[in-house]
Amino acid sequence: MLHVSRWRPSKMVSKSALASVALPAFALAALLASPATLEAKTITAVMHSDLRVIDPGLTTAYITRDHGYMVYDTLLAMDSNFKIQPQMASWKVSDDKLTYTFTLRDGLKWHDGTPVTAEDCVASLKRWGKADGMGQKLMDFTASLEATDAKTITLKLKEPYGLVLESIGKPSSLVPFMMPKRIAETPAGKAIPEQIGSGPFKFVQADFQPGVKAVYEKNKDYVPRSEPPSWTAGGKVVKVDRVEWITMPDAQTAANAVQSGDIDFIENPSFDLLPLLAANKELTIHTLSPLGFQTLGRMNFLYPPFDNIKVRRAAFLAASQKPVLDALVGNPEYYKVCGAIFGCGTPLATDIGSETLVKGNGMAEAKKLLAESGYDGTPVVIMAPGDVVTLKAQPIVFAQFLRDAGFKVDVQATDWQTVVTRRASQKSPKEGGWNMFFTNWAGPDVLNPVASVSISGKGKNGGWFGWPEDAKMEELRDKFVRTTSPEEQKKIAEEIQARVYEQVTYIPLGQYTAPSVWRKSLKGVLDGPATPVFWNIDKTE
């Protein structure tokens, strides 16, 4: 429900912007012009999803990660050359590679005005290390992590580990964001009680309306680094007073609104509307994430029918990437059929085990294997979000693959934030759980076997949603991080990919890029693997 009595619109939304809107005209006009926007330089953005989960340690959903970058900061960060750089802290490494010492820079304050301390950061790293796949692996190799004084964090390893800096400086979900100790000590899996960070923006809790809008104000006490911004590294200089994320689930409404100037930015416009938007000389269309995304399907290993490996294999053999990508993207300029679980064009890319996915020739074998599996007709419950442009097609297309192979399918229409919440449930499908969902990983999140949480074999003890338990996979991941030889890493990565497809740990469904669109009144929009970010952007009238 919209509460419009406190809002005073400065102008009516254009007729074109209201052409297909689901909200009443007066309500949308109120949404787009609060009193604060009349007095402040404000960016109004339509993100890929509405924001509901606001604890960035609770979900890998990218809208929550994006919220995290607004409110929180990180000790280290990755630049556009894939190099880890100091952000909140610099570091030194001992000669034996077993001790990492991080020193906080001057000028760091939490949004409540208290200073950032090493104890805060240690607590934040420990909470992240329980929830994140890459963090879990780092903690497996950690002997101790402590604050040795107010500005010094000391990490001691049990044995050399080659991904310490890459883990703490990882750009995407789950990001090791820093927060005050009292908040970071919230148990992993329980939502933090307040949004207090040290980042470039402050979250305006009073204006937060889940499903409607989220509001951020410039953190005037933030001291940015002096280096130029580069991906998530460098100086986070805020050049506007306020950023508002407005929920517009209808793609045509959002396109009309950005053309009329009622909003400034759309993260993921519908692919079929790109030609229309490209014709508008007042707009810029650009792909912000050069590494793109991998789209994928994930099964629930805890319950029938996908607790049976033969059933999982039948579903895998029935799948084909091109029909999914055609429905999701349409234009081959923006997608690539790719069987490499670590991404095509990357150092660890291989096509091992992917033939039926990339050629679409496995249906006959899928039918045969399903008949042999003992499948009893248990319906496959698929969660199908209809409110996110880049997640609408996959459940529908994959459901038809399953039906063609002989499965019964129950496609349950929902929204993405419900999927984000429901996929964490380990209840049976009959009790409100699920059998399958679909999501997208940004390129950095699948670059190697430690970053990619989709391949984890930790089961219910720290594994990602779906909870496959695979000791062999964990042995291979440990083997990967213990070697520094690129040739040996490549060989282990091939073994891991073969294992993923054999066990059907997950089903990669291809790669794509997703352009964003914004009005040319916005200057300084940054590229990166965790975009959009809203520092460095200025707005002219």
pLDDT in tens, 300-334: 999 999 999 999 999 999 999 999 999 999 999 99
CATH 3.10.105.10 intervals, the chain: 293-512
The per-residue pLDDT for 2 is 33
Q: What is the mean pLDDT of residues 342-346?
A: 92
SS3 label, residue 161: coil
Lowest-pLDDT range, 178-182, 276-280, 343-347? 343-347
The per-residue pLDDT for 31 is 53
Question: Architecture of domain 293-512 in CATH?
Answer: Roll (3.10)
Helices (H), 32-161: 35-39, 62-71, 118-131, 133-140
Question: Which amino acid type is present at position 397?
Answer: V
**Minimal CA–CA distance to 503: which of 462, 466, 450?**
466
Per-residue b or e along 136-149, where b marks 16 or more CB atoms closer than 10 Å to that residue's CB: bbbbebbeebebee
* DSSP letter, residue 508: E
Q: From the CB of residue 418, how many other CB atoms can be counted at a distance below 10 Å?
A: 15
**Minimal CA–CA distance to 164: which of 119, 116, 129, 127?**
129
The string of DSSP codes covering 233-296 is: BS-----SSEEEEE----HHHHHHHHHHTS-SEESS--GGGHHHHHT-TTEEEE-S-TT-EEEE
The per-residue pLDDT for 12 is 34
d(CA 179, CA 117): 10
Query: Is the predicted pLDDT of residue 211 greater than 60, yes or no?
Result: yes
Condensed to tens digits (0 to 9), the pLDDT of residues 248-281 reads: 989 999 999 999 999 999 999 999 999 999 999 9
CATH 3.90.76.10 intervals, the chain: 71-184
CA distances, 380 to each of 76, 377, 428, 439 (Å): 42, 9, 12, 17
Q: From the CB of residue 237, how many other CB atoms can be counted at a distance below 10 Å?
A: 16
Query: Is the predicted pLDDT of residue 431 greater than 60, yes or no?
Result: yes
The per-residue pLDDT for 462 is 83
- To which CATH superfamily is domain 71-184 assigned? Dipeptide-binding Protein; Domain 1 (3.90.76.10)
Q: Is 101 exposed, middle or buried (0-12, 13-18, 19+ CB in 10 A)?
A: middle
Condensed to tens digits (0 to 9), the pLDDT of residues 46-92 reads: 999 999 999 999 999 999 999 999 999 999 999 999 899 999 999 99
Helices 393-405 and 363-372, axial angle in degrees (round to 10): 60
Q: What is the mean pLDDT of residues 154-169?
A: 95
Tokens of 480: 């990967």
The per-residue pLDDT for 34 is 53
**Minimal CA–CA distance to 64: which of 228, 214, 276, 227?**
214
35 pLDDT tier (thresholds 50, 70, 90): low
Tokens of 85: 């750089």
Q: From the CB of residue 414, how many other CB atoms can be counted at a distance below 10 Å?
A: 18
d(CA 123, CA 121): 5
The per-residue pLDDT for 28 is 52
Query: Is the predicted pLDDT of residue 18 greater than 80, yes or no?
Result: no
Q: What is the mean pLDDT of residues 341-368?
A: 96
Whole-number CA gyration radius for the chain: 23
d(CA 427, CA 247): 30
d(CA 322, CA 399): 15
d(CA 177, CA 171): 10
The H-or-E segment that residue 324 falls in is helix 321-328
The per-residue pLDDT for 16 is 39
* DSSP letter, residue 267: S
Question: Which amino acid type is present at position 306?
Answer: F
What is the SS3 string spanning 388-449? CHHHCHHHHHHHHHHHHHCCCEEEEEECHHHHHHHCCCCCCHHHCCCCEEEEEEEHHHHCCC
Regarding beta strands 242-246 and 42-46, do their DSSP bridges make them parallel or antiparallel, or are they unpaired?
parallel
Helices 486-503 and 471-482, axial angle in degrees (round to 10): 170
100 pLDDT tier (thresholds 50, 70, 90): very high
Q: What is the mean pLDDT of residues 408-417?
A: 96
7 pLDDT tier (thresholds 50, 70, 90): very low
Regarding beta strands 177-178 and 152-157, do their DSSP bridges make them parallel or antiparallel, or are they unpaired?
unpaired
SS3 label, residue 218: strand
User: Which residue has 């960016």 as its token pair?
Assistant: 43
SS3 label, residue 249: coil
Q: Residue 305, preceding bond cis, omega within 30 degrees?
A: yes
Residues 516 and 267 sit within 8 Å (Cβ to Cβ): yes
Q: What is the mean pLDDT of residues 160-178?
A: 94
| Pairs from 26-32 (Cβ < 8 Å, separation ≥ 24) | 27/2, 30/2, 30/4, 31/2, 31/4, 31/7, 31/212, 31/213, 31/246, 32/246, 32/257, 32/262, 32/263
Query: Is the predicted pLDDT of residue 13 greater than 60, yes or no?
Result: no
pTM recorded for the entire structure: 0.85
Query: Is the predicted pLDDT of residue 394 greater than 70, yes or no?
Result: yes
